[in-house]
Chain A
Amino acid sequence: MWWSDLFRNMSPANFFNFSFLPKYLSFFVRGVEYTLLLSVVSVALAVIPALVLALMRLSKNRLVRGLSGAYIALFRSTPLMVQLYIIFYGLFGVIRIPSSVILGFIDVSRFIPGVTALALNSSAYVAEIFRAGILAVDKGQTEAARSLGLGGWQSMKLVVLPQAIKNILPALANELVTMVKESSICSVLGMSELIWGAKTVATTTYKTLSPYVLAALIYFAINYPAGKAIEAVERRMRRGDRL
């Protein structure tokens, strides 16, 4: 290829020695697919437990509040990498998942533990997002709903939560953007996401840095537009606030 001459005189350890590209592009394509699947599924799975955790956190029962608080504290105060190890070797050492490949490149015996760890971790953060979103709804809304004869759960479901969603959605989307980057930790356990692809190309081709630079460019190309889109949606949702 004509442009591979550009790299002829570059050191294999050069940041921009992309001579591996035509041949090894597929590692990065697969990597992006794996990363996106990993992060989207994780955050999606985290939503329901997170809502439960947030409601428990707001409960008047001390035991229920404490349970949820302990879960959130545990997952937010320890490194994700250690959580991943414990879940992969501990939890999924007891629950054995037979190795089988779906969609041609996803080994479920690694993907499921990875998704579980990320989802459990994410649910702690998303729970705090939900809690903040619910608390941001004016107390008067609940009071008005209750005085109209709605029960506690009904006023939460019909009045508070619909308004809280406006606060929650952008933060939830940001959590997804964070997860796209955070999921790179799964490469240490051989889940073939983007950083794993970069690492593999780096070791096979002896181009020791440039595959990581390419991976960073790809992460940026995904996350920057996503962040901008979230901002736009946020602006659009704020329009009704000016009173």
Chain B
Amino acid sequence: MKKVISLILAALLCLALIGCGSASSGGEKKTIVLGTSADYPPFEFIVLDDKGAQQFVGIDISVAQTIAQDMGAELQVSNMDFDSLMAALQKGDADIVLAAIEVTEERLEAADFSDPYYTDYPAMVLVKADKAAEYTSLDDFAGKSVGAQTGTTKADLVTDQFTGANLVALTSVNDLVNQLVYDKVDAIVLDGAVAMQYAQSNADLLVADVELGEALPYCVAVRKGDPDQLLTSINATIAKLVSEGKIDTFAAEADAISDQAIE
């Protein structure tokens, strides 16, 4: 008797585990899912609209909206950490990824990329204002701790160009800034536009007078091999946006929204 009950209970447990979710999605595809990491003003961030609803805004969001529009699809934003984006793309949780992504060899192995749509300022080094004078060349960072975002080209930059510096890789830019402000690292490397925004919003921080070479353009990532045949349409949209100068308009809009969000 006891054995029978135990077995039934065991079977029930298995059923409970299997039954945890049985809803599956239908086939129609009228929405296009944008994977992004909305913690990166002015490229992608979240603000409140007039009605107090949360809204994704930024340069990348505007570009993605145009891409979806041109496909006759509705854009749906899926927000996650930057280092989860490529996994989400491969898993099929996102159809396109725009997150200020530069094309690298490693990323080409995980995804296919569109033509470039925007070129930011080159990466910049952010340091404490009172120590900014100490840093005039890359050699001055030898023996110092330099922070960068995990899985970004900025992290590679620290490894490759900051000889003798110790890389501190963190997931969010926000944490990197905290580490800098509270003297846990000596400098952080960020995308140019982002570094300038932080320097502008925080009087303790300054962009160091150090050149970091060329800026790489940002591209749209799609699933490897482009099984949904999205790239043709995406590239057409990008070509149109670039030739009309629309991306600069998006950038100006995003900067204005960001300034307003800070108050």
A188 and B45 CA atoms in complex are apart in Å by 16
Q: Collect the chain B residues with CB atoms within 8 Å of residue A112's CB.
A: 21
Q: Are A13 and B204 in contact (CB under 8 A)?
A: yes
A5 and B99 CA atoms in complex are apart in Å by 35
Q: Does B133 contact A (CB under 8 A)?
A: no
Q: Collect the chain A residues with CB atoms within 8 Å of residue B80's CB.
A: 188-190
Q: Are B201 and A12 in contact (CB under 8 A)?
A: yes
Given A13-B177, A26-B52, A204-B261, 17 other A-B contacts at CB below 8 A?
A11-B203, A13-B204, A49-B13, A53-B13, A64-B9, A64-B10, A98-B25, A99-B33, A112-B21, A120-B20, A153-B5, A190-B81, A204-B46, A204-B258, A205-B263, A208-B174, A208-B175
Chain B nearest CB from A108 CB (Å) reads 9
Q: Collect the chain A residues with CB atoms within 8 Å of residue B38's CB.
A: 200, 203
Partner of A206, one of B9, B22, B201: B201
Number of A positions contacting B (CB below 8 A): 52
Interface of A is mostly: helix
A173 and B178 CA atoms in complex are apart in Å by 35
Q: Are A97 and B181 in contact (CB under 8 A)?
A: no
Which residues of B come within 8 Å of A, CB atoms?
A: 1-3, 5-7, 9-10, 12-13, 16-17, 20-26, 33, 38-41, 45-48, 52, 54, 76, 78-81, 84, 87, 91-92, 172-175, 177-178, 181-182, 197-198, 201-204, 258, 261-263
Interface pairs A-B: 8 shortest CB-CB: A203-B39, A13-B181, A98-B25, A206-B201, A64-B6, A96-B25, A59-B6, A190-B80
Q: Are A205 and B24 in contact (CB under 8 A)?
A: no
Q: Collect the chain A residues with CB atoms within 8 Å of residue B197's CB.
A: 206
Q: Are B2 and A61 in contact (CB under 8 A)?
A: yes
Q: Are A26 and B87 in contact (CB under 8 A)?
A: no
Chain B nearest CB from A8 CB (Å) reads 11
A153 and B6 CA atoms in complex are apart in Å by 11
Interface residues of A in 38-73 (CB under 8 A from B): 48-49, 52-53, 55-56, 59-61, 64, 67-68, 71
Partner of A95, one of B22, B84, B177: B22
Q: Are B178 and A99 in contact (CB under 8 A)?
A: no
